[in-house]
Structure 1
Amino acid sequence: MRTADPRQLDLFSAGLRASDGPADPRLPPIPPADLPPGARRRTLALDDGMLDYVLRRARRKTIGLHIRDTGLMIQAPAWATRAQIEDAIRHKAAWIREKLRDRDRRLELLALQAGQWRAGGRIPYLGVAIELQLDGARSARYEGDPAAPATGDRLFLPLPDTADTGRIQERAQAWLQARARIDFEGRLQRCLDQAGQSIAGWGLSSAQGRWGSCTSQRRIRLNWRLIHFAPALIDYVVAHEVAHLKEMNHSPAFWREVERLCPDFWTARDTLRRQPPDTLPLI
């Protein structure tokens, strides 16, 4: 877990910091445009086929395995022999294959993203799919109840029919962030009242590695991309951060407080652990 002053707690201690991505075995790994200084490409024969990886020597005490969009990266100390490195890879082969499959799935989703930012494109909002439309109005207009959206509701963006995907994405993102601020404010206040706690302030974040954070100065930040998800998942993140106001750790006492504030938190926690912010296919 990363630490800072003031002390900050990640929403999850490990899962969100992995830059792991999705993996369809039919998709070849994307080779890096340039290798890091001193790095070399290697190939290892495993029981289920050949595995390509990049090896880089580093000033560290152990052999590190990292999954990037470009594939498997190994960072090894100078003393480690190639045989030792490959033994480490074989020992973690199942984990590597799983993470590469995750990487390929994410890359496939990202490839589909380009088709979202157009009139008629659909984006997730509070757990349902809403449709984007363009009109010449002065401000965005939501057709439906933005506090209780239904599948098929339409969001009209103040853009001409000729708007490119970049402008459409920018306008949609601005609307989603504005809604996130309204929605999260209410959820956070209700949870604080339930917990009997107060905060020095809160705000939205765009962090790639965490869904939320709480500092020892009693400031909470919530990732605005949570607005894509169903309310139960947002409520869990809010409860997680509010629980840190009482327990600035991830001890059993902390999880008891989370459960008190959000009794069915297990399902939401497991869902979000499988979907860190940097793998979100939209925006």
Structure 2
Amino acid sequence: MTVPPQLALFPDTAFPHPAQRPARPPAGSAVSPQADLTVRPETLPEGVQWQQVQLEGQLIGYQLKRSRRRTLGLTINDSGLTVALPSWVKLSQAEQILHSKSAWILRKLREYQQRREQLALQSLQWVDGDTLPFMGTPIRLGLDPQVQQIHFEGILGQIRQGQRLLLPLPVDAEPLRVQELTQAWLQKQAKQWFEQRLQHYLDLSGLRASKLRLAAPAKRWGSCNSDGTIMLNWRLIHFHPSIIDYVVAHEVAHLQEMNHGPRFWALVETLYPDFVHARNQLRQYDPGTLPLL
């Protein structure tokens, strides 16, 4: 498939066992509902208070400042949510407004979270302690000459934030060597996971593919040739499994419909009911923005 723009790095729902299909993620979500969307700054500007509120089951922190303005103002940027509150408005009234705007607030906070995560990926130094997204979850690189081989503390498909990828290298290893070992490991995980998911959707559709090929094109997340060869961009392994599933289902549908007509999208929806949600996530990132690991 030729991808217009981009794919979200950190969509929501947790992914079940590989033999199962992912549960439907809440519309408009982009990162895990448990993700920390707002972090309290070490220092606050003078006259600003730190407050917290539960929005749709998620605890959100925000900076509250009193203002001479006549109406409540909401600002969301890389620093999180800031609420400018007129002096005559009670905090309880402000929280009522926050609840009424909860969908917009959470969506914007998640968008900024995605941008922060993308920036973190692009600024990798390939040193001990670096963080990179793996299947939609930040994991840490660890260099340890005592380990005999590459070891990941998590389980494929059940990743938890902060789990380490341990490389059998000295702590002061050359970044290029760290990058090479990490890339080899990521490609191996991508091959294993993509093969499982491809087989799942082939079984579901009753279709057959002749071959799965992994590559890293700058303009595509995947493609399907008329001979039945499916190509998947191995860097999709950075993304949440539910998004990987959408791309796989998309390419499987092309085995039957080599177009993007109504029958194609009907088949995609049969294979992956939440394709609209995932397709919207595609607009957030494009393969060319990921570092060439």
Q: Taking structure 1 as reference, are residues 220 and 112 closer, same or farther at Cα in structure 2, changes over 3 Å only?
A: closer
Q: Gaps spanning 5+ residues in structure 1: where? A: 1-9, 17-104
Q: How does 1:46-85 map to 2 (within 5 A)?
A: none
Q: Select 1:121's aligned residue among 123, 130, 143.
A: 130
Q: Gaps spanning 5+ residues in structure 2: where? A: 7-113
**What residue in structure 2 maps to residue 252 of structure 1?**
262
**What residue in structure 2 maps to residue 240 of structure 1?**
250
Deviation for aligned residue 1:114:
3.9
**What residue in structure 1 maps to residue 49 of structure 2?**
none
Matched, 1:263 2:273: yes
Q: How does 1:133-212 map to 2 (within 5 A)?
A: 133-136=142-145, 137-212=147-222
**What residue in structure 1 maps to residue 95 of structure 2?**
none
Q: Taking structure 1 as reference, are residues 261 and 111 closer, same or farther at Cα in structure 2, changes over 3 Å only?
A: closer
In 1: Cα distance, 2:280 partner to 2:136 partner: 16
TM-score, normalized by length of structure 1? 0.61
Q: Taking structure 1 as reference, are residues 262 and 110 closer, same or farther at Cα in structure 2, changes over 3 Å only?
A: same
Deviation for aligned residue 1:115:
4.2
Q: Check the 8 A contact 1:211/1:237 in 2, yes or no.
A: yes
Q: Taking structure 1 as reference, are residues 206 and 265 closer, same or farther at Cα in structure 2, changes over 3 Å only?
A: same
In 2: Cα distance, 1:125 partner to 1:202 partner: 21
Deviation for aligned residue 1:11:
3.3
Deviation for aligned residue 1:116:
4.2
Q: Check the 8 A contact 2:5/2:282 in 1, yes or no.
A: no
Q: Taking structure 1 as reference, are residues 11 and 115 closer, same or farther at Cα in structure 2, changes over 3 Å only?
A: closer
Deviation for aligned residue 1:138:
3.5
Letter of the 2:160 partner, please give it. A
Q: How does 1:10-21 map to 2 (within 5 A)?
A: 10-12=1-3, 14-15=4-5
Deviations 1:96-154 (A, max 9, x none): xxxxxxxxx98x96687344411111110011000100112332001122331111111
Q: Taking structure 1 as reference, are residues 275 and 114 closer, same or farther at Cα in structure 2, changes over 3 Å only?
A: closer
Deviations 1:150-197 (A, max 9, x none): 111110012111212221111111111000000011000000000001
- Paired positions, count: 185
- SS of the residue aligned with 1:15? coil
- SS of the residue aligned with 1:123? strand
Query: After the TM superposition, which segments of 4 or more aligned residues of structure 1 sit over 2 Å from their partners?
Result: 108-116
Q: Taking structure 1 as reference, are residues 247 and 109 closer, same or farther at Cα in structure 2, changes over 3 Å only?
A: closer
Deviation for aligned residue 1:253:
0.8
**What residue in structure 2 maps to residue 80 of structure 1?**
none
Deviations 1:200-232 (A, max 9, x none): 111111111100000000010110011011111
Matched, 1:131 2:122: no
Letter of the 2:159 partner, please give it. P
In 2: Cα distance, 1:261 partner to 1:206 partner: 25
Q: Check the 8 A contact 1:11/1:240 in 2, yes or no.
A: no
In 1: Cα distance, 2:190 partner to 2:236 partner: 8
Over the aligned positions, Cα root-mean-square deviation in angstroms equals: 2.3
In 2: Cα distance, 1:260 partner to 1:180 partner: 25
Q: Check the 8 A contact 1:134/1:156 in 2, yes or no.
A: yes
- SS of the residue aligned with 1:156? strand
Letter of the 1:127 partner, please give it. G
